[in-house]
Amino acid sequence: MKKILNALFLTLLAVFTFSSCSDVPAPYDILGEGDAPGVVGDGTKENPYNIEAAQQKQDGSIAWVQGYIVGAIENVYDDKGEFAGNKASFTAPFNITSNILIAESPDETNESKCLPVKIKNGSDLANALNLKDHPDNKGGLLLIQGELSKGFGKAALINTTAAVFNNQPIGEEQGGEEPEPPVGNVTFFEETFASDKGSFTIEDKTRPAKVEEIWKWESYTPEAGGTTSTYMKASAFISATEKEASESWLISPAVDLTKATSASLTFEHAHKFCGDPTKELTVWVKESTASAWTQVTIPTYGTNSDWKFVSSGNINLSSYVGKNIQFAFKYMSTTSDVGTWEVRNVKVTGEGEGGGEEPTPPVEGTKIFVETFGAKIIGKDEAKPAIGEYTGWDNTNLTFAATSGDVRAIAHKTPELTSNAPMVNHAWFTKNSEIDFSISNINASGYNKFIVAYEVAANVYSAGETADLAAIKVVLNDKEVTPVSKVVSGDNKEANIFHTIQVEVEVVGTDATTLKFVANGDENSVGFRLYNIRLYGVNGGGTDPEPEPKPEDIYKSNIDLPTTDNSDASYYSGEIYIGDGKYSMLKLGTSSKIGSWTSQSLGRSATKLSFYALGWNKQTAKLIVTIEEGGTFEGGNTSQTISLSGNAGITGNPPFTIEAPTNSDFFEYTLDGITSNSKIKFETDAGETAKNRRAVVFGVNIK
């Protein structure tokens, strides 16, 4: 009774206080001590999950969780300094800034009763909540939003974006308006674009010469921290002053509606910079065996002035029930308007029964690379280059080699789409030839479990001719895996039909990992085709704890910095010492001239650039960062001018010894439209005084 009266009094007090001051937002309701026994909550901000509920509901959903901050998961290193696992720590001092532990009791020390919470280094959440910088946070009651998914090999809260601590909101909440629910309860087709374009194909009708690709897969993580968003993106942007007409289609695989009684298509999309979105961003549908497309109406578009995803609303497909269909997203630009369209979470749902084969389950993990053998299709009459001589790869930063085989084009037929298929480049291995195809220089460090996915087809034309697609074995860092048997035959008319194969490999990844596809000549009796090769790193490595990178690894570069000096361009090599580590760096400029250095090609898959940059001791400087030979920074600019802070350790000649740089010395940018020839140029500003023409750059990373 006393608790009820107290609650009533507080409610009346809140009503009086906030009705008399209407511009003040209502406080967040934080449950008091002793109010959360057992499994409670529904995951909303007003009624968050407690620890036990969060541990049980590990379904990848976004939810709010409440608990007391009690410790952190610390990294453990062996005598050689190698990562040896994780352990829970409940007492100061703490050394990690990228996670905390929360529990029902502020005094909890039983790890099994705690929930690990990941917070991205450098984000508002990490800056406010980490126990290394804020040991007094221990014991505080925290309300936090994130994804209920595995981390450190156990139930956890990851991809956190928002929190309330000490009655202060932190970060940005996920969610917003709920999308319109799709019609029906049977899912006939679904593609989230979580890791690539899935089984969609791309057909450019008109593409400007200066645009390498219009539709492409992309991911984006807010610089302030938060959940990574993945989607297919269409843009024919060249520059603010150069605009050309274009047309490109993102086409679905065949969708089986033969047993449907009703159906609708839904998706989420965002767009900006269009002239008229209803004319430039459209959806079209056809029977899979037909050639003519019919436009259907998208009920809901976005504002065209922000990047907020909205639901398309239900697009009625009832006229197509009982048939196999395809649908397509058609993007257009004009000489006056060049928009950008982002699409994700595509679904066809309805009533009836799902038909056809079950699709290959989507791979789980972090995408390391996807190789589709280049966007420029090799013509029928063009020379077929040997694999080792081909230069049109998607990933120009990797090394491709083979003892036999060439790159050529063929219609991309699949079990779902056997006619009117688009042309794709692929690797062709003639019958009786040995297959030894390697992709090397892959940066796969930090993982000890991988998923390799790829498409393979066999040249089984003749009656009675068969082939087992599992004849091609996968080798990752010398660990060989044989796929599950998949026999195709000429009798079943399966010649050159691409099937998706997926294998799991447990092996330690390195920054120079090699992936191979191998088969003896006697195992290749018909000729094989290989396409759409994907490598994913699986976090956690099975039951082992998920390693977090050493904090100092952020000072390493994943592109080659100069190893020699060039006094003409005024750039110099060297090392910088931070704590116990030493790292390669780029020194630009002298007191008498500006410095300039240009990187090697980034590779068309590049979407992020990050680096640390410092000015000279007791001086300031301006660093100009420019994208050359294709692509822009997000927003359309090709260059960024950065003001640098002077650092006491940057003086004289390298090596330099400095204290750990601050967040203000770290710079990160999203890249758009990067081509296989794109490069990054760093230079100091000629407009600065002589003393301010020097800068040091390190930790340069391309993702």
Q: What confidence tens digit (pLDDT) does each residue in 196-249 have?
A: 898 898 999 999 999 999 999 998 776 545 567 889 999 999 988 899 999 999
Is the pLDDT at 346 greater than 90? The verdict is yes
Cα(324)–Cα(474) distance, integer angstroms: 34
User: Sign of the CA dihedral 603, 608, 614, 620?
Assistant: positive
Whether the Cβ atoms of residue 155 and residue 76 lie closer than 8 Å to each other: no
Q: Convert the pLDDT of each residue in 605-623 to its tens digit.
A: 678 889 999 988 888 788 9
Would you state the pLDDT for residue 32?
Answer: 37
Which residue would you say has higher pLDDT here, 184 or 128?
A: 128
* CB-count exposure of residue 175 (10 Å: 0-12, 13-18, 19+): exposed
Those residues whose C-beta lies under 8 Å from the C-beta of residue 279, and which sit 6 or more positions away, are 332
Residue with tokens 């608990």: 67
Band the pLDDT of 637: cuts 50, 70, 90: confident
Asked if 29-171 and 186-352 have one fold, the answer is: no
Q: Convert the pLDDT of each residue in 436-469 to its tens digit.
A: 999 999 998 888 888 899 999 999 878 888 888 9
Cα(684)–Cα(624) distance, integer angstroms: 6
* CB-count exposure of residue 657 (10 Å: 0-12, 13-18, 19+): middle
Would you state the pLDDT for residue 296?
Answer: 94
Q: What is the mean pLDDT of residues 114-136?
A: 89
Q: What is the mean pLDDT of residues 485-499?
A: 87
Number of Cα atoms under 13 Å in the Cβ half of residue 181? 4
Q: What is the mean pLDDT of residues 179-186?
A: 50
| Cα-based distances in Å from 498 to 289, 327, 372, 486, 520 | 18, 20, 13, 12, 21
Is the pLDDT at 102 greater than 90? The verdict is yes
CATH class as words, domain 366-537:
mainly beta
Is the pLDDT at 301 greater than 90? The verdict is yes
Is the pLDDT at 18 greater than 50? The verdict is no
Would you state the pLDDT for residue 360?
Answer: 41
Q: What is the mean pLDDT of residues 178-204?
A: 75
Residue with tokens 């990851």: 158
Q: Convert the pLDDT of each residue in 320-342 to its tens digit.
A: 988 889 999 999 999 999 999 99
End-to-end CA distance of the chain: 59
Helix/strand/coil for 654 = coil
Among the listed ranges 508-522, 548-562, 586-600, which one has the minimum average pLDDT value?
548-562
Would you state the pLDDT for residue 627?
Answer: 93
Q: What is the mean pLDDT of residues 466-477?
A: 91
* CB-count exposure of residue 357 (10 Å: 0-12, 13-18, 19+): exposed
Would you state the pLDDT for residue 635?
Answer: 80
Would you state the pLDDT for residue 670?
Answer: 87
Cα(559)–Cα(61) distance, integer angstroms: 36
Is the pLDDT at 435 greater than 70? The verdict is yes
Those residues whose C-beta lies under 8 Å from the C-beta of residue 471, and which sit 6 or more positions away, are 519, 523, 524, 528
Q: Which range among 74-78, 107-111, 256-260, 519-523 has the greatest average pLDDT?
A: 107-111
Does the domain at 552-702 match CATH 1.10.10? Answer given as no
Whether the Cβ atoms of residue 256 and residue 355 lie closer than 8 Å to each other: yes
Would you state the pLDDT for residue 604?
Answer: 66
Whether the Cβ atoms of residue 357 and residue 253 lie closer than 8 Å to each other: no
CATH number of 186-352: 2.60.120.200
Domain residue extents for the chain:
29-171, 186-352, 366-537, 552-702
Using alpha carbons, select from 264, 262, 266, 265 the residue that is nearest to residue 351.
262
Is the pLDDT at 122 greater than 50? The verdict is yes
Whether the Cβ atoms of residue 199 and residue 416 lie closer than 8 Å to each other: yes
Tokens encoding 112: 């099994």
Would you state the pLDDT for residue 226?
Answer: 53
Band the pLDDT of 36: cuts 50, 70, 90: very low
Would you state the pLDDT for residue 602?
Answer: 78
CATH of range 29-171; options 2.60.410.10, 3.40.190.80, 2.40.50.200, 3.40.50.720: 2.40.50.200
Q: What is the mean pLDDT of residues 645-661?
A: 86
In this structure, which long-range contacts are made by residues 638-641, counting pairs with CB atoms below 8 Å and at least 24 apart in sequence? 638/239, 640/667, 640/669, 641/685
Q: What is the distance of C-alpha 591 from the center of its chain?
A: 41
Percent of the chain topping pLDDT 70: 86
Would you state the pLDDT for residue 185?
Answer: 57
Q: Convert the pLDDT of each residue in 403-431 to its tens digit.
A: 999 999 998 888 877 766 788 899 999 88
Would you state the pLDDT for residue 680?
Answer: 94
Residue with tokens 């257009």: 332
Q: What is the mean pLDDT of residues 527-539?
A: 88
Whether the Cβ atoms of residue 72 and residue 100 lie closer than 8 Å to each other: yes
Strand-pairing partners, residue 117, are 100, 157
Those residues whose C-beta lies under 8 Å from the C-beta of residue 195, and which sit 6 or more positions away, are 217, 230, 362, 363, 365, 367, 370, 534, 536
Would you state the pLDDT for residue 81?
Answer: 64
Is the pLDDT at 372 greater than 60? The verdict is yes
Is the pLDDT at 8 greater than 60? The verdict is no
Q: Convert the pLDDT of each residue in 261-286 to its tens digit.
A: 888 999 999 999 999 999 999 999 99
What is the chain's mean pLDDT, rounded?
82
- Model-level pTM? 0.34
Among the listed ranges 517-526, 569-578, 601-610, which one has the minimum average pLDDT value?
601-610
Would you state the pLDDT for residue 13?
Answer: 42
